[in-house]
Chains A and B, each alone.
Chain A
């Protein structure tokens, strides 16, 4: 069925806007995956925590009510980051560090298995703990942003998603600058590239990993806060986003923040624009097809490096 130009542009716009939130999520995951080589199954659940953090800051407990229904959700999304950063820090200190990091990297097999089960266990605890604490009723942030749009010609740009786009780009730029130009950030990258050499250089790899982990989940939580203004959610919502995040990170390339950003954005575009030619029901299958194609044709992703030690 042929589609009109407006349909095309509208889908593209939707893809970019939705994709921006995915992009930010992917950056979070990318930092963890890139620095620690850990497949974090709980990433979607930290996203969920970010959503609830933003919710309670605005509609729930009204802490940011004084900012109004427009600025409130934006500020809440930002604040969700540090909140979940703290949770992540704790989780790493108590749990994750026991199965990842330099000390474990040598006992190759044991560490890898531990990572998987610990993050799976963490995911279960967060989801079900969330049910106990937050309850099962689906909830969302009330803001007029989610149902208003700016118009460019005939194309409508949802305001909440546009705001999310701007915040995502800002955050991504900030992360990029942090990793590239601060001492802390460079230490993180060194630890990621070669933890052994990093230790010899005086970098506390364990701390670097903890920072990477907490930063990663914190950034994903900000993305969650942004999404919370558009969608409603319940404690098991993490599931729905895990695949998108991994697809985006792999698409963009392991170890590249820029890659994670573009990867997530591209996934959003594929997801929304696939509806122009394929049945709507296969939206997410389209994501997987693209994911698999990239993995086969260019496994290092768009921006990743080819090297992967044997």
Chain B
């Protein structure tokens, strides 16, 4: 019969095809194969806490992804995250990256290294090895180098700056009816605050009709905040923009503001960066002093993540979820999504898949505000800036409204 012959022929052809496909290199076959991802973050040294938070998120992600059946387009292959300690110097971070790349030539992607200078050093290695790399660092230098394999999931500091103040001003106006006219700025001179402040000082403030009456930059670590806050006391700006990237410095400034009777809404506080929402800040400074502090971040627990937040808190014992834990979870999720789309444990293909990505649903998209979409520099497109505010001892997302878990409050000027 014609049909039988055709069927047999096509069946044979199909078999040959399958055999050929199975023989292709780089294709994962059995369901017990693993795909390797890397995480580089400081696990020892002064920034160990942040690395450990990232790891907590990543462990959870690995558990979830593998528990849900692994990467389906690769036949249910499980992901394995290999952790490396970036230590306390750029040299150690670079060595960790090179070691990972050399020891595991089958790495298909990675994320880290929290500190922007570490991230810069690590990505110099991963770029040359064509490994797609995700980072939560805010520094715009990371994606300004013309690299093709680096993806910055946080909006750059400059991008965040462009939205932080307008949103804060709008909130102030809608609450008090008056638009603030003067602003004070206290910042440290690390990369992210400097990048945040640059566009503001280069005309951004003028455009918003704000006069800079306090402009203080210090080199961390801060020894004492008295001279800084003294300036605030004499200038009395309508609100204060705090850009301190280390928790100990946040504490010094906040407590000094309290001491000088400028806290608790006297001078509204707007900040940027995850350290302002850390549990350790709560522990050392106390909920009453933090109440009302508004800060913008790249990523913060949002509406729709309630179940996940609870799970994280129960599993890790952390009082609440922060940017580090969230990104630690989200980055492997994005890489997993990339693997799914690529259909092959091939790093170049995965990078390609990430470049083409436009995720609005799924575990990866659920971790970040806005769609997972990158431009040709590796920066996110169409990302709303998240604002969180301390309310009753918990930093909750208040903007954008559709992602908020609470309503924002502008501390009244008294």
Contact = CB atoms under 8 A, between A and B. Distances in A.
Is there a contact between chains A and B in the complex with CB atoms less than 8 Å apart?
A: yes
Interface of A: 4, 6-7, 10-11, 13-14, 17-18, 128, 131, 135-140, 142, 146-149, 156, 158, 161, 230-234, 236, 240, 271-272, 275-276, 279-284
B283 interface: yes
Instruction: Summarize B's interface: helix, strand, loop or mixed.
Output: helix
Contacts of B283: 139, 142
Contact of B217 (A136, A281, A284): A281
A196 to B, nearest CB: 42
Q: How large is the interface on B (under 10, 10 to 19, 20 to 34, 35 or more residues)?
A: 35 or more
B379 interface: no
A13 B219 CA distance: 21
16 contacts: A10-B230, A11-B227, A11-B230, A131-B48, A136-B47, A136-B49, A137-B49, A139-B280, A142-B283, A142-B284, A149-B260, A230-B255, A232-B247, A234-B48, A236-B88, A280-B217
A231 B227 contact: no
Contact of A275 (B46, B48, B227, B256): B227
B32 interface: no
Contact of B219 (A139, A147, A283): A283
Given A18-B223, A231-B248, A232-B284, A281 B230 contact: no
Given A233-B248, A283-B223, 9 more contacts: A7-B227, A131-B48, A136-B44, A140-B248, A147-B256, A147-B289, A156-B260, A236-B45, A272-B226
A283 B219 CA distance: 8
Contact of A280 (B49, B216, B247, B289): B216
Given A137-B280, A236-B45, A156 B259 contact: yes
B188 to A, nearest CB: 9
Instruction: Summarize A's interface: helix, strand, loop or mixed.
Output: helix
Contact of B227 (A4, A10, A135): A10
Contacts of A149: 259-260
Interface in B207-256: 216-219, 221, 223-224, 226-228, 230-231, 234, 247-248, 251-252, 255-256
A158 B227 contact: no
Contacts of A131: 44-45, 48
Contacts of A142: 283-284, 286
Contacts of A128: 44
Given A138-B49, A232-B284, A271-B223, A158 B259 contact: yes
B258 interface: yes
A236 to B, nearest CB: 4
